[in-house]
Every structure is written in C-alpha cells, then in structure tokens.
Amino acid sequence: IQQFAHYVKANLDPNLKAYIEYSNEVWNPIFIHHDYAIEKGLAAKLDEKKSPAGYKWYSRRSVEVFKIWEKAFGGDDQLVRVMGSWTSNQNMSSQVLAFEDAYKHTDAIAVGPYVSAHPKELRKAKNVDDVFSLMMDKNSKWGMTTILSYIQKQEKVATSFGVDLIAYEGGQHLVDWDTRTVDQHPNPLLYAANRDPRMGVLYDELVREWRRAGGKLFVAFSAPRIYSWY
C-alpha cells in the first residue's frame, strides 16, 4: 500500500486527486473479503455480532490505509478518502463513519444506487414496456422511487458526519442471475431495454435526483467487456 501510494504521488497530475478506498463492497457476502473482515473483526473483539464486527474492522483498516496515503502525500489535500457502504443500509454508513471517529479521516461515503426490478418479476415480462414499468413501480424495493429514498437517507447520514455522498457505481441493474445464455428469457428484453430511449430518460432522472439530494461524484457502472446475461 505504501509503495502504491508513493507511486501515485510521483506520477499523478498535481491538478488531480486520488480517490482512496479499501477494497470493494466489503459488506457484500458474495465476496470473500466480506468473510475476511468479519473474521478479523471478531478476532479483535470489535463486536460480538458478525456484521457489526466486519463493519468496524473495515472502518479501522480503512483509516489505517488512509494514513499511509496521507504520509506518502504529505497531507490529504490531493486525496479523497472514501468509505464504501450498502445503499439500502444507512445504519452501516453511520457505523463505519462513527467507529473510532473514522469520519475525521474520511472525505466521502460511497454507495451504489442501482435501479432495477426483482428477477422473479423480470421473468414475467412479456415486452420492454413491462421492464420499464417494473423499474418505475413505486412499490418495488428495487425500483426508482425506493432507490431515491435510500439516496436521501444516505445524504442525511453523510451530512451529519460532514462528508460527501458519492456513488462508486450506479445506474441500471437489469439482470437475472439464474440465466446462463444471452438468448435465455428475459435477457433479450433486458438488452432491448438498455437500447431503448427510455433508458436515457431513466438515467437523467436518477442523476438529477441524485444531485438534488446533495450527491456529488456519480460513477455510472460500465464493465469493460461485451454485454452478457450479467
């Protein structure tokens, strides 16, 4: 980490800033580092419960990493120190920022605001109109209305700790995890939805409401490969 920090300091345009984040989605159980953080947190007796122990260890380790970069850069003026959190879990955001006063060494809390629909519902779709109806369903836990409410709650947490709210990923999240071929239903409808002009309208609304809520940098997710059932 120290060597990487020194390399970036030596090669980064002085007019640019480096965004520093320890790992990716440590809260997400699909990743091995989720279990790693819990193991470390429990061993350090940071909490008796698994998830809080993992969150607290992630918070502590993040600050340790931030300090390594601060030393390499001779301060934090050229750094944006980022804590990652789960969009729908503002309590996690509070925990990682509050633990051992981590917010004093953090510039931003980052979430992944995705708009989608439950795969079970997407499988019922008969056309692209159905896909957009599902994404805009006010009662859907995955839809636009719910995601915007999460954003507003996360912004309140960020403001209370004096940090920015940014998006490390975000955008459409149309996926049926159980499919394994590009032509398996509902994948053709999901590809078509991404090419539909209404997807642009959806992105406009998402980013507009993100900014209205007080969100800053928004990184639209894009995988550097051809589209697939993922």
Beta bridge partners of 172: 115
Q: Is 111 within 8 Å of 87 (Cβ atoms)? A: yes
Provide the pLDDT confidence category of residue 229 given band limits of 50, 70 and 90.
Answer: confident
185: number of CA atoms within 13 Å, CB side?
9
Mode of pairing for the β-strands spanning 108-111 and 164-167: parallel
Provide the pLDDT confidence category of residue 227 given band limits of 50, 70 and 90.
Answer: confident
State the sign of the Cα–Cα–Cα–Cα dihedral 193, 198, 199, 205.
negative
pLDDT (mean) for 156-168: 98
Could you tell me what percentage of the chain is helix, strand and coil, using 3-state DSSP and rounding each to the nearest 5? 50, 10, 40
Residues 57-77: tens digit of each pLDDT: 999 999 999 999 999 999 999
Which tokens is 65 given?
């990493």
Provide the pLDDT confidence category of residue 230 given band limits of 50, 70 and 90.
Answer: confident
Name the nearest CA neighbour of 104 among 81, 86, 122: 81
Beta bridge partners of 114: 171
With 80 as the cut, is the pLDDT of residue 156 above it? Answer: yes
With 70 as the cut, is the pLDDT of residue 223 above it? Answer: no
pLDDT (mean) for 98-123: 98
Provide the pLDDT confidence category of residue 99 given band limits of 50, 70 and 90.
Answer: very high
CA distance 79 to 228: 35
Which tokens is 15 given?
């007019």
Which tokens is 111 given?
């979430």
Which residue type occupies 162?
G
Q: Residue 13, Cβ neighbours under 10 Å: how many?
A: 7
Helices (H) and strands (E) in the chain, counts: 9, 6
pLDDT (mean) for 42-46: 98
CA distance 91 to 24: 18
Query: pLDDT at position 228, please?
Result: 81
Task: Give the ranges where the chain is alpha helix by DSSP (H).
Answer: 2-11, 32-43, 50-73, 90-98, 119-122, 128-135, 144-161, 187-195, 197-213
CA distance 163 to 208: 20
Which residue type occupies 125?
A
